[in-house]
Structure 1
Amino acid sequence: MSLLCKKALHRCQLTWLLLAAAAAAMLLIRLVRRRRRRPKPRQGKLRVAFAHPDLGIGGAERLVVDAALGLRGRGHDVTIYTARHDPRRCFDETRDGTLRVVVAGDWLPKRILGRCYALCASVRMVAVALRAARDGPDVVVVDQVATAVPVARAACAAPVVFYCHYPDKLLCVNRQNPLTRLYRAPLDWGEETCTGLADVVLVNSRFTAGVFRRAFPRLAVAPEVLYPPLSLDAEVAEAPRDAALLLSINRFERKKNLGLAVEALALLPPRVRLVLAGGYDPDLPENVEHARELEELAARLGVADRVTQRRSVSGDEKARLLARCACLLYTPENEHFGIVPLEAMHARTPVVAVDSGGPRESVVDGVTGRLLAPDPQTWARAVADLLGDAAGRRAMGERGRERVRDLFSLDAFADRLERICVGVLTRR
């Protein structure tokens, strides 16, 4: 047997072994642990625990922070539990003491032999759920990784709300290798089973709701759509618009399709520049590799001097970039929702996005921006039209700001989430 096959077989065996250990631990919790009666919440006040795998910088992390802020602003006691929180790459509210953050399971590996990310995330989230249970929350909100759902329910007898950004089983697209399929089989089964144990399942868009139903046909649960919010209290940075500046905000990952923005730039006049800003973790090989790939692509297309990378930008810097740029280029295909277009529209910045997934529910083509096929020439023509029409850009920006205020405010989101948490506790 080749070395590669031996490694793959080892990964499969390890997957089954760890999942069996997790199942045994859950059973032991149920059989041995004395379920103490949780103290009733104080009048009108809930203890809410958020469980999230890695509290870095990204749309999912922004949602958790905003959800915690929204419930905290309504008088509830909120704590975020996570397996990783790096003060160098996180949102300000998790670093400056605004929100209480507890780290658990950081000692567990994030990957094994450079692989097994999903397995390790599942195991780490078990540790996060167990730590959250120790504080006796009234409601647990599990984000992204469903493994924590049954653990939280078993360990603290609290109802669990699961927020599904996108089924993890669909993020693993390379399954030609039989051993990869064998490795993924228990993970996929576990994801579907654990998701079905949640008291309430939330998704971030109608697009994701449809994907959820197709991905988990065994589940009778009907997911509820709760759009990610945007805080309208934050000051919008004021800066003169640069009619030759384009902006992209995304993590440095291949699935974000950032090359589309670079390729479109190469078809635009030399005065036009592009800033690639977003989450970047030097400990994640894909971030490092893809940032280098984008630099190489820009050099090949002759636009290296017109492309700037701004990695792990702060909230203030992101706000300044959104205020200065002529328009935002949002390049992911079939994005689950995407909070960045909302941030751009709130800053009165037109959005050019791929015509698929969540942006179809946030961006209105021809009204607040453009929805286009992922073709560089199509994007270059649309961007050129926007750059040449300052009045049109201003009108799109104003309409975008109105749309965010009407449909995606943090107040509306927090009200709905509070009703869900109270309702699920009442049903219990």
Structure 2
Amino acid sequence: MAKAANNKKTIIFLHPDLGIGGAERLVVDAAVGLQNRGNKVVIFTSHCDPKHCFDEARDGTLDVRVRGNTLIPPSILGRFSILCAILRQLHLILQVYATSELRLLGPDAYFVDQLSAGLPLLRLLDPASRIFFYCHFPDLLLARGRARWWKRAYRLPFDALEQWSMAFADTIAVNSNFTRGVVASTWPSLTKRKELKTVYPCVATGGTNENAQPGSILDGGEGEGKPLWNGKRFLLSINRFERKKDVALAIRAFAGLAPPQRKGVRLVLAGGYDPRVAENVAYHRELVALAASLGLSHRTAGTIVTALETPDDVEVLFLLSVPGALKELLLRNAALLVYTPRNEHFGIVPLEAMLRGTPVLAADSGGPVETVRDGVTGWLRSPERPELWTEVMDLVLNRLSEGELAHMSEAGVRRVRESFGETYMAERLDGIFDEMLASEAEGASSILGMVLLTASALVGVFVAVFVSLWYGWGKDSERVVWAEE
């Protein structure tokens, strides 16, 4: 029987791969926040590499246990990633149940994200506990490689399983109102039965001092250090080098400034870059070619040293795979963050910039509409009209007074601290879990129906696998893309 609301709870997290990413950052922040509020928290995952995970997952802050990783590999010859992920989740649940770990922990509730396939089994094995599912974004909209009919056939049972299994959660949460709208339009029957709650990801505010000396980050904390690029003003974009991020918009808008307007100013394009990823390499080349075609001098740097040694006459600087220290330095010193993605699910970078007092220029769609206050903490403009972005750049660089910019900077810091800090998210989650525990468990009304549907789903999965193998699925034809920052 579930505990009464407001009592300290035992909450079990189930996450597929506790590495480093936006989804993992949210899981870690949620777990730490709930733990700091007096709850017992345990994270079960199928994979956690101590060399490739967040500090809280390896330094003892959180109780992280790796289970369900001995029978099913992450993929089979580079294929069937989603099938393997589902089977690994089911294996994890069965293992912790069979070994009595769940019984000994006595969970009041589960926090599950990314994969909903295991929810029916979880409901069957532990009907008294509550299930909270966090939907970063519908996986069926993220999976790629549907050009051919047999590839679409392969995904069909997984898409159906995603919607059906999600209904076994007592509460479903999403990362933004934008995502909530997408989920509602994707699965209207689900949202008729379930009220979706919005729980925004957070940024760490406790250890951030927006008044810190900017140079001290790279100088070991001794004094102010040398100003970045001798105090040169710059506009900043932080995104992965992917076409959907539309980094080209920032280049076009910057090129729209007349030479006197951008004199002494640099556009810095920083972000994740992996030379093994073909799109990263190709898109970087496209952006370099675009800058050259617009008459902008440019340079690419891959290390902190080469970045800091950039000649003064370089107008566009590409920074590949920016380390944390340099990212912090850039966010603190930028005159403006230029955030170009449209229909971004949430977007954590604008919050990181505002927390450090940097105003934000973002697309007027997706998550930034909910985080950036137009004219107060930054600006929201249509990505279809680069000239509007150029106007904002000119406004920040040449027309706003220091007092006006300082006022906007203060508003941004206040906005993040009040609405997007880790304490706020933890309080919101704790309240939702209390509400669940005070109500009757939801989900399947018939265990027989649950078993039949599960069996049907598994049959569909194996049929899909057979079809895929029969038609000789290419190794890179399926790419499962889970939640991103």
Between stretches 76-85 and 264-273, larger displacement belongs to 264-273
Pick the aligned partner of 1:170 from 138, 141, 146.
141
Query: Which ranges of structure 1 fall in alignment gaps of 5 or more residues?
Result: 1-36
Between stretches 406-415 and 334-343, larger displacement belongs to 406-415
Distance 2:136 2:243 in 1: 18
Higher gyration radius (CA): 2
How big is the shift at 1:174?
5.7
Kindly provide the amino acid, as one letter, of the partner of residue 339 in structure 1: I
Distance 1:162 1:118 in 2: 18
Number of aligned residue pairs: give it.
385
Distance 1:84 1:379 in 2: 43
Superposed CA RMSD in Å reads: 3.1
Kindly provide the amino acid, as one letter, of the partner of residue 268 in structure 2: L
Pick the aligned partner of 1:349 from 358, 363, 379.
358
Confirm or deny that 1:208 pairs with 2:179: yes
Aligned partner of residue 370 in structure 1, secondary structure? strand
Match in the other structure for 2:393: 383
Match in the other structure for 1:234: 207
Between stretches 319-328 and 304-313, larger displacement belongs to 304-313
Report Cα offsets for 1:68-108 as digits up to 9, x if no partner.
11111111111223333344443332233222222334564
Pick the aligned partner of 1:199 from 158, 170, 184.
170
Q: Structure 1's 201 and 385: CA in aligned 2 closer, same or farther, altered over 3 A?
A: same
Q: Structure 1's 299 and 253: CA in aligned 2 closer, same or farther, altered over 3 A?
A: closer
Query: Which ranges of structure 2 fall in alignment gaps of 5 or more residues?
Result: 215-226, 293-297, 301-315, 442-485
Distance 2:330 2:51 in 1: 20
Match in the other structure for 2:342: 333
Match in the other structure for 2:86: 122
Distance 2:255 2:137 in 1: 33
Match in the other structure for 2:15: 52
Distance 1:106 1:390 in 2: 58
- 1:248, 1:261 within 8 Å by CA — same for their partners in 2? yes
Kindly provide the amino acid, as one letter, of the partner of residue 73 in structure 1: N
Pick the aligned partner of 1:255 from 244, 251, 258.
244
- 1:236, 1:319 within 8 Å by CA — same for their partners in 2? no
Kindly provide the amino acid, as one letter, of the partner of residue 90 in structure 2: V
Distance 1:209 1:80 in 2: 26
Kindly provide the amino acid, as one letter, of the partner of residue 204 in structure 2: S
- 2:270, 2:322 within 8 Å by CA — same for their partners in 1? no
| Percent identity of paired positions between Structure 1 and Structure 2 | 42
Confirm or deny that 1:363 pairs with 2:375: no
Distance 1:254 1:127 in 2: 37
How big is the shift at 1:266?
5.2
TM-score (structure 2 length as normaliser): 0.71
Distance 1:322 1:259 in 2: 20
Match in the other structure for 2:278: 289
Distance 2:18 2:50 in 1: 10
- 1:166, 1:208 within 8 Å by CA — same for their partners in 2? yes
Distance 1:312 1:272 in 2: 17
Distance 2:351 2:143 in 1: 28
Q: Structure 1's 80 and 390: CA in aligned 2 closer, same or farther, altered over 3 A?
A: farther
Match in the other structure for 1:273: 267
Distance 1:206 1:60 in 2: 17
TM-score (structure 1 length as normaliser): 0.79
Report Cα offsets for 1:102-132 as digits up to 9, x if no partner.
2334564444454544333333333444456
Aligned partner of residue 18 in structure 2, secondary structure? coil
Pick the aligned partner of 2:299 from 285, 292, 304.
304
Kindly provide the amino acid, as one letter, of the partner of residue 400 in structure 1: G
How big is the shift at 1:210?
1.6
Kindly provide the amino acid, as one letter, of the partner of residue 186 in structure 1: P
Kindly provide the amino acid, as one letter, of the partner of residue 335 in structure 1: E
Report which structure shows greater RCO (CA 8 Å, sep ≥6).
Answer: 2
- 2:266, 2:317 within 8 Å by CA — same for their partners in 1? no
How big is the shift at 1:387?
2.7
Kindly provide the amino acid, as one letter, of the partner of residue 234 in structure 1: G
Distance 2:351 2:438 in 1: 33
- 1:322, 1:344 within 8 Å by CA — same for their partners in 2? yes
